[in-house]
Amino acid sequence: MARYVVDVMPKREILDPQGKAVLGALPRLGFEGVSDVRQGKRFEIEVEGEDDDRQREEVRRMAETLLANPVIEYFTVHAHEPSVELVDATADDSGAS
């Protein structure tokens, strides 16, 4: 079983209304000093078989065809490392109210 991550982000020259909405909301919530926010998509894809160049190329073609709109978005494909760093937010209640 091979696992991949496809990150899809709006190109720099493209307006990003979702990112702008977040950027506008942050000061109202008391967060200062944020100068830019861009919002995109993240896909985690599980494929039968081993990770190899052919599989990776296949995932790249999925991204081009279905996951991203190459006119306004760019994407990256990389292998998904089983992350020990994945944090369950509810389990990480370190006293912030």
Q: Which of 14, 27, 31, 52 binds a second copy (CB under 8 A)?
A: 31
Q: Are strands 2-10 and 73-79 parallel, antiparallel or unpaired?
A: antiparallel
Residue 64 CA, chain-centre distance (Å), reads 15
Q: Which of residues 32-61 bind a second copy (CB under 8 A)?
A: 33-49, 58, 61
The Cβ-side half-sphere exposure at 68, using a 13 Å CA radius, reads 25
**Position 76 contacts a second copy (CB under 8 A):** yes
Tokens linked to 36: 């830019």
Residues at the site binding a second copy, with contacts judged by CB under 8 A = 1, 7-9, 11, 19, 22, 25-26, 29, 31, 33-49, 58, 61-68, 70-71, 73-78, 83, 85-90, 96
